[in-house]
Chain A
Amino acid sequence: MLNRTAENVARATPEPLARKVRGISDKGLAWLFISPTILLLLAINIFPLFWAIYLSFTNYRANRPNEVVKNLGFANYQRILGDKDIWIAMQTTAHFVFWTILLQTLIGFTLAWLIDRKFRGHAFWTTLILVPMMLSPAVVGNFWRFLYEPQIGLFAYAISFVTRIPPTDIQMLSNVSLAPWSIIIVDTWMWTPYVMLICLAGLRSIPEYIYEAAEVDRASNWRQFWSITLPMALPFIMLAVLFRGIENFKMFDMVNLLTGGGPGSTTEVASITLKRQAFESWRTGYSSAFAIILFVAVFGLANIYVKALNKVKQR
């Protein structure tokens, strides 16, 4: 059936084109197939990166395209790296990244470990747990805004039911000390399933005979967990931490939808500051320099993790 289809395609190919393709080597043909992807990557990823590097040394403003562009050298970088507001935004970002990764890894691994027990209905629970991850961040942001509403929100009601604090006093999004935690909760709710999925893949890859050997040696469950499960699932956990770490450094949509960086600037993460500089103050050159600083930070972090991952794999 497949051969007949291939024959039909070969017969239907116009003779001049068929002659041309026949003259190309295997390597040439491979290049021919991957060249559209490479061209697309160059146009969408590589060119904007180099363009942003160029803009970061200028005073270019996107809302004034006809203005003469001056070369400022490293002035944009010096200004950003001496700016106290941006320093605070970096600390806010670090706070988010630390807590979201810690919570997602702990809860995600625990869920994966429980799901791996293969109890009755585990497939159903796996699907149910994965639902938040499949939702759009815009939907999740709006959905949680309603949940956090002090008057009608289910979250405020549930907290007040447990703590006996009136729901109107639970102002998750407008309270200075609660607003950062409101975003951490939503991000953890949404992305824990993703960490769970990666950890589950790690746990399922552990061969059963290792546990059987441990059983023969009369190793306790606790001992099996620390000596077999955790070390063998560690590369997967680290992979999940790497992916979530990189994503959370760029966290924008959730913060923008839930608090918009407020109240005041308590939840103003680096990406929100970047957006404000780029599209509210229209300081394109300055924001390009800021974006390059963040890029180098994430790139450096990725290098460390890849090295650590290779080390763990070699063990």
Chain B
Amino acid sequence: MTRAAISRKSSWPRWARRGSMENIATALIAIGFLMLFQPFALSLYTYSFITMLAGTVMFIIVSKFPE
């Protein structure tokens, strides 16, 4: 069975596939990480933890999604 046929059969929404969602989660973690260690603005540092936490939790959840 081809890959296209498998993806046609899957009822999982295309936008919620693991690859793209993992990319969003990774971007959130990376942004949070940079915000935590940057020397420019205290406000960015203040919101770094919540950004990183959101990204990490999202990564744990979406890594269980189908491809």
Contact = CB atoms under 8 A, between A and B. Distances in A.
Given A77-B49, A93-B37, A94-B37, A300 B56 contact: yes
Contacts of B45: 81, 87, 90
Nearest to A299: B56
Interface of B: 22, 25-26, 29-30, 32-33, 36-39, 42, 45-49, 52-53, 55-56, 59
Question: Most chain-B CB neighbours within 10 Å: which of A81, A90, A94, A301?
Answer: A81
Given A93-B37, A297-B33, A300-B33, A307 B46 contact: no
A296 interface: yes
Contact of B26 (A84, A293, A307): A307
B52 A91 contact: no
A297 B22 contact: no
Contact of A301 (B33, B38, B48, B53): B33
Q: Which of the four size classes fits the interface of chain A?
A: 10 to 19
A81 B56 contact: no
B30 A81 contact: no
Contacts of B56: 296, 299-300, 303
Nearest to A300: B29
Interface string A77-121: 100011010010011011000000000000000000000000000
B48 A81 contact: yes
A139 interface: no
A149 B53 CA distance: 44
A304 interface: yes
B31 to A, nearest CB: 10
Given A81-B49, A84-B42, 17 more contacts: A81-B48, A82-B46, A91-B37, A91-B39, A296-B49, A296-B52, A296-B53, A297-B36, A300-B32, A300-B56, A301-B29, A303-B26, A303-B56, A304-B26, A304-B29, A304-B30, A307-B26
B62 to A, nearest CB: 11
A303 B37 CA distance: 18
Contacts of B29: 300-301, 303-304
B26 A90 contact: no
A300 B46 CA distance: 17
Nearest to B22: A307
A277 B17 CA distance: 43
